A and B are shown apart, each in its own frame.
Chain A
Amino acid sequence: MTVVDWKELIRWDRMPHILCPGCGNGTILNVLVRVLAEKFEEGELDPDKTVLVSGIGCSSRLPGYVKLDSLHTTHGRPLAFATGIKLANPDLEVIVITGDGDAAAIGGNHLIHAARRNLDVTVICANNYIYGMTGGQVSPTTPRGAKSTTTPYGNPEPPFDLCELVIGAGAPHVERWTTAHPAQLSAAIARALEREGFSFIDVLCQCPTNYGRRNDMRDPREMVKWLRENTSTRDEEGKIRIGILRDEEREPFLKRMYDMIEEVRTSEEGD
C-alpha cells in the first residue's frame, strides 16, 4: 500500500496524545510524518520497510503515534536495539527518536559507538535541555546556570554539545535545527533519510512544562521565539550554531559488514 496522505500515518485511535500543550515534540511529530508521507508517495521509502525505534522519555513516545512498525525500547538504548534490527535486515529503514537524556546520559555510550560504527540509521534527538517525562530534572544538555528540579540553585555543570560529541565520534552527517525552523527541519530529515550511514539531527525544542516554567519561559511561544532569536546558521557570538554541521562521506557500517560476510562465503566455496 502506498500512503499518500500523512493523516493515514497517524494512529488516530490513540488520540489524544500524552504531550503537553505547546510541547516541541508535537512539531517534530508533525514534521516527521509529513516527510515520511512524501517519501512514501514518491516511492523513495516503503512504509512497510520503515521502522521507528525509540527509548524512554516524552520524545520517545512519538513512534507510538505513527502507523509503522515501531519499537519503544528501554531508557537510553534505542541505538543498541536499532543496531540489531539494521544488521539483521539491511532492507529496513530505521529511524531512531530519542531525547537528550535518553541519547546522551544513559545512552551516551551507544550514541558514540553508533556514530563510530557509522551505523545506517537516522537519529532525531528532541533536545529540550531537560528530563521531561520524569518531571524536569537536569540533563546532560541543560545549560550552565539553568534551573531544574535537581538544580534548584542553577546547573553547576557544563552541558554537552551533542553535535560536537557525535562529530568527534565519527558521525558523517550532522545537523542542528529547532522547532522554530520546521521547513529546515523537514529538509534535514529528508536529507538524512536519503543517506546511508549515521545521520544525527539535534532538534532544539521547547518543554514549556518542565524547562520553560522554571527558566522564565512559561509560554511555549516565548520559548520558540527564544529558539529563533538565539540560534544562527552562521557563527555568531552568543548564538547557538544551527544548520548542516557536517556532511561527509564515510563507508557505512552495513556495507562493510555485508562485504565481509560475502567475502568469507565466497572464499569458503572456493576451498
Chain B
Amino acid sequence: MSKVDFLQGNEACAEGAIVAGCRFFAGYPITPSTEIAERMSSRLPEVGGVYVQMEDEIASLAAVIGASWAGIKAMTATAGPGFSLMQEHIGYAVMTETPCVVVNVQRGGPSTGQPTKASQSDVMQARWGSHGDYEIVALSPSTVQEMYDLMIECFNWSERLRVPAVLLTDEVVGHMRERVVLRDDVETVERELPPEGEEIEKPFPMEPDDLVPPMPVFGRGHRVHVTGLTHDERGYPATDDPEIHRKLVTRLCNKVRKRAREIHEEVGYDFEERESDVALVAYGGCARTVIEAAEELGVTVFRPKVIHPFDPDLIRDLLDGYEVLVVEMNLGQYVEMVERALDRECVHLLGYPGGYPPTPERVIREVKKLSG
C-alpha cells in the first residue's frame, strides 16, 4: 500500500532510492546532502543493503561502481566540492558503461562557497565536468514528491542506458519538508543481463541493439575485462586505433543523445501555455517561485525535469516565438543551452546566485522590464 508521509526532500530521495532497488550506498558527508547518507545508513540494513562511509568522495563513487559490477544497484550523494572530486569516476562509469546514481544537492560555489545555501551552478559540471566526450542523464526535481519520483527515474534510466545518472537537485528542495506519497506501485528497470555461466567474447559490441549491450556481472562466469581505457569489442585496451575510439565514444554519446526526446517525455515536464509574449523557463527549487510569478503575470511557463540530455527540438517546439526568460540560481548555465536552440535575441537570463531563489516579485519586475 502506498504511504503518505511528511518528509524532507533528502529523506524522500533516500526512500525513492530504496524502492528503486538501490542496495548499496557509499558516501562522504557534505552539507546540504548529509541527510541522504544518514537516512540510507539507517534504512539500507533493514532491507539487507550495505551502507559504507568511505574516506572521501573519490573512494565513494569508486565503491559504487565496484558494487554495480558486482551486480547491485548503487548510489552516492554529495554536493559541489564532492561532486568535483567525483568527476574522474563519472568519466570512468561512462567509459565502462556502469549504471550508478549520483545525487548532487547543489550549494553555492565556487570552492566551499555557501555550504548551507542553495545553488544551481553545477548544471554544466554535470554535463562537462569529466574529461572527454560523454553524455549522462541528469534530472532536476522541484518538490519533495519529485525527489522521490525522479530518484526512481534516475535508477531506471541509469540501468536502461548503462550510464551514470545524476539527481541534480538543490538545497531548497533537499531541505524543505512536504507531503509525499511513497508509492509502492513503482516500476523499476533492471539492467539487461547476458546468460549466466557463459564466457562473453564481445562484452562491448560496436553496434549493439539500441546501442546498449547487456551488462556482464562479476562472479557469473562471464570472464570479462573491464577498463577505462579505450577498448575494443572484447574489452581489450585499443588506445592507438582512431577508428575504435571514434566508434566507441560516438556510441556512448549516441545511446543517450538519440533518446533525448524519449527521456523528456517519459520523465515529463511542465508546460503551462498562456496567451503571452513572454515565456518563463526554470527548473529545480528555483522553478517554485517562477511558476508563482508566471501565474500572477498570466504568462507561459516551461519547467523541464530532464536537464541532460538537452533536447533542442523540444525547446523549439514549445518555445519558438516567445521572448524567453530563463531564471536560474547561477550566472547563466541552462540558458546557454536554450540559446543554442532558439533565436538568441529572444533569450534572456535572470541569473540569481547568492543562496536563495528570486522572489516572485523579483521575477515579475524582470518580466515587466522585458515587455517594455
Asked if A and B bind, the verdict is yes
Residues of A within 8 A of B69 (CB): 71, 85
Q: Does A246 contact B (CB under 8 A)?
A: no
Once bound together, how far apart are the Cα atoms of A261 and B44, in whole Å?
8
A69–B219 touching, CB < 8 Å: yes
A68–B223 touching, CB < 8 Å: yes
Q: Does B236 contact A (CB under 8 A)?
A: yes
Instruction: Return the contact of B50 from the options A14, A48, A53, A88 (Cβ within 8 A).
Output: A88
Distance to closest chain B CB from A84 (angstroms): 3
Question: What band does the interface of chain B fall in when counting residues whose beta carbon is under 8 Å from A?
Answer: 35 or more
A80–B54 touching, CB < 8 Å: yes
User: Which of A47, A64, A80, A88 has the most C-beta atoms of chain B within 10 angstroms of its own C-beta?
Assistant: A88
Distance to closest chain B CB from A106 (angstroms): 9
User: Which of B50, B58, B218, B222 has the most C-beta atoms of chain A within 10 angstroms of its own C-beta?
Assistant: B218
How many chain-A residues does the 8 Å CB contact rule pick out? 41
Instruction: Return the contact of B74 from the options A48, A82, A88, A92 (Cβ within 8 A).
Output: A88
Residues of B within 8 A of A64 (CB): 225, 227, 236-237
As a 0/1 sequence over residues 55 to 76 of chain B, the CB contacts with chain A under 8 angstroms (1 = contact) are 1101110111111111110100
Q: Does A134 contact B (CB under 8 A)?
A: no
The A-contacting residues of B in range 33-54, CB under 8 angstroms, are 45-46, 48-50, 52, 54
Residues of B within 8 A of A209 (CB): none
Q: Does B224 contact A (CB under 8 A)?
A: yes
Instruction: Please name 28 pairs of A and B residues whose Cβ atoms are closer than 8 Å in the assembled complex, sorted by A.
Output: A11-B236, A64-B225, A69-B216, A71-B218, A72-B227, A72-B237, A74-B89, A74-B92, A74-B228, A77-B59, A77-B89, A80-B58, A80-B59, A80-B63, A81-B62, A84-B68, A84-B74, A85-B69, A86-B70, A87-B52, A88-B23, A88-B68, A88-B70, A88-B71, A88-B72, A109-B56, A257-B52, A265-B46
The B-contacting residues of A in range 206-262, CB under 8 angstroms, are 257, 260-261
Once bound together, how far apart are the Cα atoms of A73 and B228, in whole Å?
6
Chain A residues close to B by CB (< 8 Å): 1, 11, 13-14, 47-49, 51, 53, 63-64, 67-74, 77, 80-89, 91-92, 109-110, 113, 257, 260-261, 264-265, 268
Q: Across the two chains, which residue of chain B brings its CB closest to A1?
A: B221
| 8 closest residue pairs by CB, A with B | A84-B66, A84-B63, A80-B62, A88-B67, A88-B70, A80-B59, A84-B67, A72-B227
User: Which of B55, B60, B64 has the most C-beta atoms of chain A within 10 angstroms of its own C-beta?
Assistant: B55
- Is the contact region of chain A dominated by helix, strand, or loop, or is it mixed? helix
Once bound together, how far apart are the Cα atoms of A73 and B64, in whole Å?
13
